[in-house]
Amino acid sequence: MKTESQHNNQLVEHCKSGDKTAQFTIYKQYYKAMFNTAFRIVNDRFEAEDIMQESFLAAFTKLNSFSGDVTFGAWLKRIVINNSLTALKKNNKFNTVPLEKADIRNIIEDKQDYSFLKVSDILKKVSQLKNNYKVALTLNLIEGYDYEEIAQIMDISYENSRTTVSRAKNKLRQLLST
């Protein structure tokens, strides 16, 4: 893993100097993962493709701002997520409810067995969720972001991010049990 990280750092340095071969190598390494990230958020293959391409373009043009504090893949994924959320907001597909208007109830975890489900079945059900639920759940369960990071990414309060993720999980449970 360490040698892969060093190799990626070398590729990034070559990209900073305008090496097209290094850019293409990085593109080939990350394009599938970045497309999947965008697709899980926008739920449209063509739009996800556009977002992925725009994100790579933005990353390569702003490569000098990449500090190396995180891996290049994590930095690129953040660009893809931000661009995906911007696309959702631009198309008015991103619905949020202010916390003051939210109906907050204590949620009891169910003990139902979902081990028989296939990943593809679960992803189909996730795609049926409202966009803000789908985004919050994707960021939390698939991308691994915590509530605070989700709040920052989605530009909502910490409490609202917890509520949204919780409601999304409940809605997904409902869909999975039908």
Mean pLDDT, each 10-residue run in order, the chain (178 residues): 64 84 90 91 89 92 85 90 87 57 50 69 84 88 86 86 90 85
Q: Evaluate whether 82 touches 144 at the Cβ level (below 8 Å).
A: no
Position 103 scores a pLDDT of 53
Position 108 scores a pLDDT of 46
- The C-alpha atoms of residue 178 and residue 161 are separated, in whole angstroms, by 26
Q: Print the SS3 string covering the chain.
A: CHHHHHHHHHHHHHHHCCCHHHHHHHHHHHHHHHHHHHHHHHCCHHHHHHHHHHHHHHHHHCHHHCCCCCCHHHHHHHHHHHHHHHHHHHCCCCCCCCHHHCCCCCCCCCCCCCCCCCHHHHHHHHHCCCHHHHHHHHHHHHCCCCHHHHHHHHCCCHHHHHHHHHHHHHHHHHHHHC
Whole-prediction pTM value?
0.63
Q: Closest Cα partner for 30 from 71, 2, 63?
A: 71
Position 70 scores a pLDDT of 84
Domain boundaries, the chain: 2-90, 99-177
Q: Token pair of 16, please?
A: 């900073």
Position 1 scores a pLDDT of 45
Position 2 scores a pLDDT of 52
Per CATH, the number for 99-177 is: 1.10.10.10
Position 31 scores a pLDDT of 92
User: What is the CATH class of 2-90?
Assistant: mainly alpha
